[in-house]
C-alpha cells in the first residue's frame, strides 16, 4: 500500500514544484524592466485568474473521483463518457468566460486596488490571457482523468511540459520581442493550447482503447448527469468558501498596514509550499480511494485512508522542524528588509504550526474527492468557515490583532481536518476498526 501511495504521490509533488517556479520567472522578467508597475500588473492580473480557476477546480476533482470509481468497476463506457461529459462542461464554461469577459474585467478591477497605470497594464494582460480558458479548463479535465486512471506520471509530464514551454515563450516574447505584460499573457495562452494538444494526443495514443464511441443516450443519462452536476456543485461551493476565507485573511492583513500584509503574505507562501507537497498525497488519495470505492472494497479503503493519514502526520513533523529552525532564512529568501524580518519573527509560531494544523485537511480532501463525498466536503467547509473562522476572527482580532487573525486561520484549517474525520464514517461508510 505504501508503494502504491508513493508511486502516485511523488510525480504529483514534482509537478507541483513547477508551479511556483513559473510564477517566480514571470515576476523576475517583469522585475528587470524599467518600472515596478509591470510586476504589479502581472500580480493583479494573476489574482483574477487564480480566483476564476480555483473556483472551477471541481472540473479536475470531480473528474478524478468519477473516473477512479469507474476504473474500480472496470466500466470502460463510464470512463469514456465521464471524460466526454467533463470536457463538454469545461468548454461550455470556458465559452461563458470569454463571452462575459467584459463584466468579469469590470467587476474584478472594481474590487481590486492598484494605480491606474498598473490596472491599465493588468487589463491588457487579462484580455489576452482570457482566451486560454478553453485550453486551461480542458487540461483540468485531462489531469483529473489521468489521475482517476491511477496514472500520475502523465499529469507530471504534462505539467512540466506546459510550464517549460510557458517559460520559453515568456522569455522570447519579453526579452526578444520586448512585449512586457502582453508577452507574458501570450506565452501563457500558447503554452496552454500546446498542453491541451499534447494531452489529447496522449489520451488517443495511450488510452484509445478506452475511448468508446460517443453515445448521447449514455452521455445524457439522467442518473449519471444528475450525480455529475450535484457533486460538482458541492465542490464549487466548497472552493468558493475556501477562496472567500483566504481572500478575507489577505484583506484583513492589508487593513492592519503594509508591513503586516507583507509579513502575512510571506508566511502564506510557505503555507502554499506545504500545501503543494501534501497535494501529492491528496491526489494519491483521490485515485486509490476512488478505485476501492468503485470496487466496494471496504478493507482496502480502510487501509488506504489510514496509510494516507499516517504519511501526512509523519511528514508534518520534518516541515515543522524546518520552519522552526530555518524561519529567519526563509524570510530572507523573500526579503532583505531587516525591519520586516524582525516583525515576522514575532509571528513565527504561526508559521511553525502550519504543517500540524493543516495536513489532515489536505489529506481528507483527496479522500473525500475520491469517494465523491461532496456533500460532506461542502458541509465541513461551511462549518469551518462560517462557524469557526469568522467568529474566531470577530472575537479575537480586536484584542490580539494579527495574532487573532492567525489563530482564526489555524482554527479554520484544524477544524476542517477534525470535522472530516468525524464525518468520515457516514460520508465514506468508513470503519475505523477495520485492519
DSSP output for 108-153: HHHHS---HHHHHHHHHHHHHHGGGHHHHHHHHHHHHHHHHTT--H
Top pLDDT among 214 and 126 is at: 126
115 closest CA partner among 25, 32, 35, 27 = 35
Domain boundary (220, 248, 269) is at: 220
pLDDT of residue 119: 81
- What residues have CB less than 8 Å from 357, skipping those under 6 apart? 410, 413, 414, 417
pLDDT tier at 134, thresholds 50, 70, 90: very high
- Does the pLDDT value for residue 435 go beyond 60? no
122 confidence band (pLDDT: 50, 70, 90): confident
Per-residue pLDDT tens for 280-335?
899 899 989 989 888 888 888 888 999 999 999 999 999 999 999 998 888 887 76
Instruction: Specify if 228 maps to a domain.
Output: no
- Share the mean pLDDT of the chain: 87
Q: What is the mean pLDDT of residues 177-182?
A: 84
Q: Please report whether residue 431 resides in a domain.
A: yes
In this predicted structure, what is the pLDDT of residue 310?
A: 94
Cα separation values, 327 from 331, 344, 357, 411, Å: 6, 9, 17, 22
Q: Is the model's pLDDT at 123 over the cut of 50?
A: yes
- Among residues 34, 26, 17, the alpha carbon closest in space to that of 171 is found at 26
Domain that holds residue 171: 1-220
Residue 145's pLDDT is 94
- Kindly indicate the confidence band of residue 48, based on its pLDDT and cuts at 50, 70 and 90: confident
Q: Are residues 148 and 280 in the same domain?
A: no
Asked whether residue 362 is assigned to any structural domain, the reply reads: yes
Share of the chain above pLDDT 90, in %: 46
* The pLDDT of residue 49 is above 80: yes
Confidence of residue 433 (pLDDT cuts 50, 70, 90): very low
The answer to the question of residue 227 being in a domain is: no
Quick one: 186 and 292 in the same domain? no
Q: Which of the listed residues 180, 197, 220 is the one where a domain comes to its end?
A: 220
Give the pLDDT mean for 111-135. Answer: 86
293 and 360 fall within a common domain:
yes
Point out the least confidently predicted range of 44-48, 56-60, 190-194, 291-295.
44-48
Does residue 342 sit in the same domain as residue 212?
no
| Residue 355 pLDDT level (bands cut at 50, 70, 90) | very high
* Position 46 pLDDT exceeds 70: yes
- Structural domain includes residue 226: no
The C-alpha atoms of residue 153 and residue 157 are separated, in whole angstroms, by 6
Q: Do 54 and 183 fall into the same domain? A: yes
The answer as to whether 229 is a domain residue is no
Q: Which residues contact 351 (CB under 8 A, 6 or more apart)?
A: 267, 270, 323, 327, 330
pLDDT at site 389: 96
The whole-angstrom separation of Cα 234 and Cα 250 is: 25
pLDDT of residue 26: 62
Is 311 found in the same domain as 191?
Answer: no
120 and 164 share one domain: yes
Domain total in the chain: 2
Average pLDDT over residues 175-203: 91
State whether 188 and 316 are in the same domain.
no
- Judged by average pLDDT, the poorest of 22-36, 92-106, 163-177 is 22-36
* Shared-domain flag, residues 264 and 407: yes
Residues 211 and 294 in one domain: no
- Is residue 225 domain-resident? no
CA distance 310 to 110: 45
Of the residues 220, 244, 261, which one is the last residue of a structural domain?
220
Residue 434 pLDDT exceeds 60: no
Shared domain check, 249 and 211:
no
User: Are 214 and 242 members of one domain?
Assistant: no
Amino acid at each position: 500500500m505504501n508503494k502504491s501511495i508513493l508511486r502516485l504521490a511523488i510525480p504529483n509533488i514534482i509537478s507541483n514544484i513547477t508551479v511556483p517556479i513559473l510564477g517566480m520567472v514571470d515576476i523576475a522578467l517583469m522585475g528587470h524592466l524599467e518600472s515596478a508597475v509591470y510586476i504589479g500588473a502581472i500580480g493583479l492580473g494573476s489574482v483574477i485568474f487564480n480566483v476564476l480557476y480555483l473556483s472551477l477546480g471541481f472540473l479536475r476533482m470531480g473528474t478524478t473521483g468519477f473516473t477512479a470509481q469507474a476504473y474500480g468497476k472496470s466500466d470502460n463506457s463510464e470512463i469514456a463518457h465521464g471524460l466526454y461529459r467533463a470536457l463538454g462542461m469545461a468548454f461550455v464554461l470556458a465559452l461563458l468566460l470569454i463571452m462575459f469577459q467584459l463584466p468579469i474585467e469590470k467587476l474584478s478591477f472594481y474590487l481590486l486596488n492598484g494605480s491606474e497605470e498598473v490596472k491599465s497594464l493588468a487589463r491588457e494582460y487579462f484580455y489576452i490571457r482570457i482566451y486560454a480558458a478553453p485550453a486551461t479548463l480542458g487540461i483540468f479535465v485531462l489531469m483529473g482523468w489521468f489521475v482517476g486512471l491511477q496514472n500520475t506520471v502523465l499529469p507530471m509530464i504534462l505539467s512540466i511540459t506546459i510550464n517549460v514551454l510557458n517559460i520559453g515563450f515568456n522569455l522570447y516574447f519579453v526579452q526578444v520581442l520586448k512585449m512586457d505584460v502582453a508577452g507574458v499573457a501570450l506565452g501563457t495562452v500558447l503554452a496552454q493550447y500546446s498542453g491541451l494538444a499534447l494531452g489529447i494526443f496522449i489520451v488517443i495514443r495511450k488510452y484509445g482503447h478506452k475511448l468508446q464511441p460517443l453515445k448521447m443516450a449514455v452521455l445524457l443519462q439522467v442518473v449519471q448527469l444528475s450525480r455529475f452536476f450535484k457533486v460538482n456543485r458541492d465542490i464549487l461551493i466548497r472552493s468558493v468558501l475556501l477562496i472567500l476565507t483566504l481572500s478575507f485573511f489577505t484583506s484583513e492583513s492589508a487593513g492592519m498596514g503594509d508591513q503586516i500584509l507583507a509579513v502575512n503574505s510571506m508566511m502564506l507562501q510557505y503555507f502554499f509550499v506545504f500545501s503543494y507537497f501534501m497535494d501529492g498525497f491528496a491526489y494519491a488519495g483521490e485515485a486509490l480511494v476512488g478505485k476501492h470505492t468503485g470496487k466496494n472494497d471496504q478493507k482496502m479503503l480502510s487501509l488506504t485512508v489510514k496509510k494516507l493519514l499516517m504519511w501526512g502526520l509523519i511528514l508534518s513533523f520534518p516541515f515543522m522542524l524546518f520552519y522552526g529552525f530555518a524561519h529567519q532564512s526563509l524570510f530572507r529568501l523573500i526579503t532583505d528588509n531587516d525591519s520586516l524580518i524582525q516583525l515576522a519573527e514575532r509571528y513565527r509560531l504561526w508559521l511553525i504550526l502550519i504543517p500540524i494544523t493543516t495536513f489532515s485537511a489536505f489529506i481528507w480532501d483527496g479522500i473525500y474527492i475520491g469517494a465523491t463525498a461532496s456533500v460532506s466536503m461542502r458541509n465541513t467547509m461551511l462549518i469551518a468557515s462560517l462557524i469557526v473562522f469568522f467568529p474566531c476572527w470577530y472575537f479575537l482580532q480586536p484584542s490580539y490583532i494579527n495574532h487573532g487573525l492567525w489563530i482564526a486561520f489555524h482554527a479554520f484549517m484544524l477544524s476542517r481536518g477534525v470535522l472530516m474525520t468525524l464525518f468520515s464514517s457516514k460520508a465514506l461508510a468508513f470503519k475505523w476498526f477495520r485492519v
